[in-house]
Amino acid sequence: MKACFIGLGYIGLPTAIIAANSGIDIVGVDINAEVVEKTQRGKLHILEPGLQPMLKRVVDSGKLVARTTPVPSDAFFIVVPTPFKENHLPDISFVEAATRSVIPFLQEGNLFVIESTSPVGTTEAMAGVIYGERPELKGKIHIAYCPERVLPGNVIYELIHNDRVIGGLTDDAANKAASFYAHFVLGTLHKTNARTAELCKLVENSSRDVQIAFANELSLICDKAGINVWELIALANKHPRVNILQPGCGVGGHCIAVDPYFITAAFPQESKLIATARQVNNYKAEWCTEKVKNAMLKFELLNGRKPKVALMGLAFKPDIDDLRESPSKRIATQVMQSCNNADIMVVEPNIDQHKVFKLTDYREAYDRADIVAFLTAHKQFKTLEWRDNKIILDFCGLFKK
C-alpha cells in the first residue's frame, strides 16, 4: 500500500508520519522546498510534542519520503489550508490546486480523500474537477471526505484515538477510506456521505465557538453588574447539566475563528446564532482593547504621567507559539497604535523574537508596569503573584479575581 499526502503542515505531516509508522509507504508532498528538504533530513518543521523521534524513525526506515511533486500511488490525501477571503468567504483554491496536482497520477481503483476543512459540496466539486480532466476515470476512483479533528499539542494521541467521520461520495468510497484509516486509527470510524462529513467538521468548531461566545457574553454582563464571572461560571457549572466554558479575550487560531464562516457564507439566513457568536467573540477583543485604553487614560488623569503598560501573551491560546488569528495580538496592535508615545511592553514567552513587537521578559514587564493586561494564560504567568499596587486587567482568568 502506497499513499501520497499533499500538504506537510500541522496536520498533513503528523498524519503522514503516523500512517508511515503503521507500515504504509508514504510520500509526503509540499510545494515548499524548504519543508520537503527538512522532512527528508528527518527534521520536524512544526512544534509538536513527541513527533520528532517518530519522524526520524520513518524517514530512516524509508517508510516516509518527502517530495515537491506527487507520484503514482494507491491513495491520495489532500491536507492543505482553507483560509477565508475578504467578506469571510471560504477560499478553496489550495484544495483545488492540490487536487489538480494529483490528477495526472490518478489510476483506476485509487482512493482520493480530502481532509482539509471545506465548505459543504467541496468534495463533489473536486470530483467534478477530476472527471473534467480525466473523464475515463468516472466511477472508477473512490472519492471521500474525512476531516481531521486533532488538537495541536496532543496530535499523536488524538490522531490515533479520536473517532473519525468518513464521508464517501459512494458507499464503496467510504468503505475504502475506512479500511485505510483502520491501519492507524483506534477510534471508531463512522461512515456517512461527503456532505454530512463536511458539515460535521464545520459544526464541531462552530459549536465550540458558540459556547465560548456564551462565556464571553457572560463576562460582559458580569463586568457591568459587578459580579466575578469566574466564580459565577464555577457555581453555575455545579448544576449537573450545565457546563459553561471560560471567557477570554476572544477566539483565535486558524480553525474555530475561521470555520463558522464557511457555514454563514453558504447559509446566511439560517445561521444567525453561529454568525452572532462570531460577532460576540470578535467584539470581546475590541472590548478588551477599550478596557486597556481607558485604564491608561484614567491612570494619566490621576497621576499626571503616562503609565507603563505590560501586555502579557500574544499566542491565541496558552502554552503555544502560534499567533494566527490571535485576539491577543490584535489587542496589542490596537493598543500600541492608539498611543504611540506610551511606554508599552509586549510579552510572549513562547517566542524569542517578533518582526513587529519588541518582546520583554515577563518578569521584568510585570515588575515595571503600572497597568498589566493578561491576554493569554501562559503557564509562566501563573507563577506571578497578584500585586495590589498595580492595575491588573485579568482578561484570561489567571487570578480569577
**C-alpha of 191 from chain center:** 25
Q: Under rule CB under 6 A, which residues in 92-121 are in contact with ligand SAJ?
A: none
Q: Can you tell me which of 127, 255, 263, 274 binds ligand SAJ, judged by CB under 6 A?
A: 255
Closer residue to ligand SAJ, CB minimum distance, 52 or 246: 246
Is 150 a binder of ligand SAJ (CB under 6 A)?
yes
Cell of 79: 491536507
Please classify residue 147 by burial: count the beta carbons closer than 10 Å to its beta carbon, then call 0-12 exposed, 13-18 middle and 19+ buried.
Answer: buried
Q: Can you tell me which of 12, 14, 28, 152 binds ligand SAJ, judged by CB under 6 A?
A: 152
Size of the site for ligand SAJ (CB under 6 A): 19
Q: Which are the catalytic amino acids?
A: 201, 255
Is 271 a binder of ligand SAJ (CB under 6 A)?
no
**Strands laid side by side in the 189-193 sheet:** 64-67, 25-29, 2-6, 75-78, 111-114, 142-145, 164-168, 189-193
Q: Which stretch binds ligand SAJ (CB under 6 A): 83-91, 146-154, 178-186, 329-337?
A: 146-154
Is 374 a binder of ligand SAJ (CB under 6 A)?
no
Closer residue to ligand SAJ, CB minimum distance, 168 or 397: 397
CA atoms within 13 A on the CB side of 17: 29
CB 2 within 8 A of CB 25: yes
The string of DSSP codes covering 199-250 is HHHHHHHHHHHHHHHHHHHHHHHHHHHT--HHHHHHHHTTSTT-------S-
Least CB distance to ligand SAJ at residue 388 (A): 27
Closer residue to ligand SAJ, CB minimum distance, 134 or 208: 208
CB 279 within 8 A of CB 209: no
Is 330 a binder of ligand SAJ (CB under 6 A)?
no
Is 252 a binder of ligand SAJ (CB under 6 A)?
yes
Q: Running DSSP on this structure, what letter comes out for residue 162?
A: S
Q: Can you tell me which of 69, 170, 246, 282 binds ligand SAJ, judged by CB under 6 A?
A: 246
Is 253 a binder of ligand SAJ (CB under 6 A)?
yes
Cα–Cα dist 362/368, whole Å: 10
Least CB distance to ligand SAJ at residue 133 (A): 30
Q: Under rule CB under 6 A, which residues in 283-322 are in contact with ligand SAJ?
A: 316-317
Is 29 a binder of ligand SAJ (CB under 6 A)?
no
Binding mask 191-210 for ligand SAJ (x = CB under 6 A): -------------xx--x--
**Strands laid side by side in the 371-374 sheet:** 343-347, 308-312, 371-374, 391-394
**C-alpha of 56 from chain center:** 25
Return residues touching ligand SAJ (CB under 6 A). 148-152, 204-205, 208, 212, 245-246, 248, 251-253, 255-256, 316-317
